Amino acid sequence: MIPQPFDYYAPATLREALAMIASGEHKILAGGMSLVPLMKLRLALPEHVVDLGRIPELNYIAESGGVLRIGAMSTHHDIESSAAVRAHCPLLAEAAGHIGDAQVRNMGTIGGSIAHADPSADYPAALLALETKIRIVSANSDRTIDAAEFFVDAFTTALEPGEIVLELQAPVEDQGEGYCYEKVPHPASGFAVVGVAVRVKKAGGKIAMARIGITGMGPRPFRDSMAEKMLESGTEIGQATQSIGQGEEANSDLYASGDYRRHLARVHAARALRTALTRAS
């Protein structure tokens, strides 16, 4: 038993859940893979916990009109093993397979992960490279924003009190696109010291389109549009990746300094791009 008592609610519908959390005083429990450890450490001491685990309408993966829609309560395992994700956004399936371990992937959810916004989480790199949109709802609002606007800072998102992540909307990757998620895992925790997600399209032997999302390096994930433009205008990979992370804040800790993280981002972006190109047709 953990020390802090709390009230537990398990609504059966989204409407019920949104009404419960409208006051903004409730902590939302999705898969619990971040929240439960934080509660055990007393870093989170919520008095009211609303469990979204019994709302079937939040758990789906479906493609329609060129957009892959993923319900917030889809687990990492659902995403990693979903035929629809593997066919339409294989980059996301690849990133999901790198999260934690099998038990964590069975419980942890994509909505919970992004709402927690751990700067070392794997998904954000892929979501940025995929130009994903995130639909956010509350009892009286419904808005859809770009992933780039969603991640504000370490453990800080654009979510307002009373709001939850409802759905992720990723444009379907074109046939023939190459993709790759490259990660430097922390040897103890498995979290991304740096993670790089890339997508490329080839045309006439050149890179016609490049998308690069980076997680772990700084307090928030980012897309490197300068490197993307350099690649699209014919700069070779080694040179184009040299500027990655320039001007972006980088985290330092006992394991890796900010400069080393920036270096890793550049090296692994180049590797990811080369792998992605071999997968592109």
Partner 1 sequence: MKRTISLTINGKTYTDEVEPRLLLIHYLREVAGLTGPHIGCETSICGACTVLVGGKTVKSCTMFAVQADGRELTTIEGVAAADGKLDPVQEAFWNEHGLQCGFCTPGMVLSVKHLLAANPNPTDQEIRHGLDGNLCRCTGYQHIVNAVKAAAAGKGGV
Q: Which residues contribute to the site for partner 1 (CB under 8 A)?
A: 1-8, 10, 29, 32-33, 36-37, 40, 49, 51, 53, 77, 81, 100-104, 106-107, 190
Residue number, 2 or 208, with CB nearest to partner 1: 2
Residue number, 100 or 219, with CB nearest to partner 1: 100
CB of 31 to partner 1, least distance (A): 9
CB of 38 to partner 1, least distance (A): 11
Residue number, 4 or 239, with CB nearest to partner 1: 4
Residues 78 and 60: their CA atoms lie apart, in Å, by 9
CB of 267 to partner 1, least distance (A): 23
Residue number, 103 or 239, with CB nearest to partner 1: 103
CB of 160 to partner 1, least distance (A): 26
CB of 9 to partner 1, least distance (A): 9
Residue number, 52 or 91, with CB nearest to partner 1: 52
CB of 101 to partner 1, least distance (A): 3
Residue number, 118 or 131, with CB nearest to partner 1: 118
Residues 58 and 167: their CA atoms lie apart, in Å, by 8
Q: Which DSSP string corresponds to the chain?
A: --SS--EEE--SSHHHHHHHHTTS-PEEESS-TTHHHHHHTTS---SEEEEGGG-GGG--EEEETTEEEEETT-BHHHHHH-HHHHHH-HHHHHHHTTSS-HHHHHH-BHHHHHHHT-TT-SHHHHHHHTT-EEEEEETTEEEEEEHHHHEEETTEESPPTT-EEEEEEEEPPPTT-EEEEEEEE-TTT--EEEEEEEEEEEETTEEEEEEEEEESSSSS-EE-HHHHHHHHTT--HHHHGGGTTTTS-----SS--HHHHHHHHHHHHHHHHHHHHHH--
CB of 45 to partner 1, least distance (A): 11
Residue number, 105 or 262, with CB nearest to partner 1: 105
Among 118, 125, 123, 136, residue whose Cα is nearest residue 58: 136
